[in-house]
Structure 1
Amino acid sequence: MTAAIHVPQGAPLSRWLRLAAAILPVAATAVVGSMATQAEIPGWYAGLNKPVFNPPNWVFPVAWTILYTMIAIALWRLLGTMPRTGPSRTGWWLALAAFLVQLVLNAAWTPVFFTAHAIGAGLIVVAMLLVMVLWTIRLSWRFDRIAAWLLVPYAAWVGFATLLNAAILRMN
């Protein structure tokens, strides 16, 4: 017999502070990615051999804009579910830590792959990112299922990026 877990609702942060706490780290991740790719797309990246399933360059900023919006909303929702007390509070902090680790890995991949031209190291980073996004979804599910679902397209895109990174490594 499984006991139901009661997760008390109520965020200790104000709505505006939660909004800032959700948007700022995601926006910083997006800025790092943009800065690391802009100079490399027409030069180094254009010269790489790429698989036939590589999307046109314009797809990436469109996809990432949508995904970063969904990621920020998911984080905003997760921040709103922080239990005030009890054992579920530890699980919530673990979900938040996983969320932040996957954002750090997201921010790290672009400079590793594009700026350092380290395709193999980029594959390691993006594979770790995929694992962390999936784990974040699993941990967040307990606190806010909508937040977890908002991360599913992100996981799919990172899975695709992992496959693409592996193919580029093999072809170069």
Structure 2
Amino acid sequence: MTTARTHSFSFSGIFKIIIPIVICLLVGALAGYLQQSSIQNWYPHLNKPLLTPPNAVFPIAWTILYIFMGLSIGLVYLTDSDQKPALRNLFIFQLFLNFLWSMIFFVRQNITGGLICIVLLDWLVIWYAFRAWPIRKLSSILFWPYIAWLGFATYLNLFIYLHN
């Protein structure tokens, strides 16, 4: 386990924070755009649990989560840790699976594939938070709301799988 020094904030340091946030928001916006038709025409006809939030909640929650995700990896980039490449790779893979879930579940309307994808995403996000903890505790903590939301999304996906 390595101890990471953090850099003081500088102009380049700000970009190391801003760029990942923007990338996460763009990934989320693209997923939202591509799944829009299914959310309007397919998703309303599925049997969903009573705890399903209104559709307006999802873009608000995801915007906050994408900001936290980008901030998390940005803070990792500000450290001198030799674990940065491993965390970056975990982060990129989880962001890819995050996007892929939207494509599988909504665009392809594949509930089973979505469930498999989100379970893999759950584990990857937990692993990222676990690996980030010794490097930058705040980076790990910023993933905790994401982990909670994914747990809830997994519950929704599982219910939809079982009842449709």
**TM-score, normalised via structure 1 length:** 0.87
Q: How far off its partner does 1:58 sit? A: 1.0
Match of 2:24 in 1: 26
Conservation of the 8 A alpha-carbon contact between 2:21 and 2:66: no
RMSD: 2.0
* Counterpart selection for 2:4 from 7, 24, 44: 7
Q: Distance in 2 between matches of 1:145 and 1:170?
A: 37
Aligned positions of 1:104-119 closer than 5 A: 104-119=96-111
Return the letter of the residue paired with 2:3. Answer: H
Aligned positions of 1:40-119 closer than 5 A: 40-83=38-81, 89=82, 91-119=83-111
Match of 1:86 in 2: none
User: When the two structures are aligned, how many residues end up with a matched partner?
Assistant: 163
Q: How far off its partner does 1:6 sit? A: 3.4
The answer for unaligned runs of 5 or more in structure 1 is 84-88
Match of 2:142 in 1: 150
Q: Distance in 1 between matches of 2:90 and 2:2?
A: 21
Return the letter of the residue paired with 1:145. Answer: K
Higher mean displacement: 153-162 or 25-34: 25-34
SS at match of 1:165: helix
Q: How far off its partner does 1:20 sit? A: 4.4
Higher mean displacement: 23-32 or 137-146: 23-32
Q: Distance in 2 between matches of 1:58 and 1:5?
A: 42
Deviations 1:89-133 (A, max 9, x none): 1x3321221111111101111011001000000001111111011
Q: Distance in 1 between matches of 2:122 and 2:72?
A: 17
**TM-score, normalised via structure 2 length:** 0.90
Q: How far off its partner does 1:21 sit? A: 3.4
Identity %: 32
* Counterpart selection for 2:123 from 131, 135, 152: 131
Q: Distance in 2 between matches of 1:131 and 1:162?
A: 11
Conservation of the 8 A alpha-carbon contact between 2:3 and 2:135: no
SS at match of 1:40: helix
Match of 1:161 in 2: 153
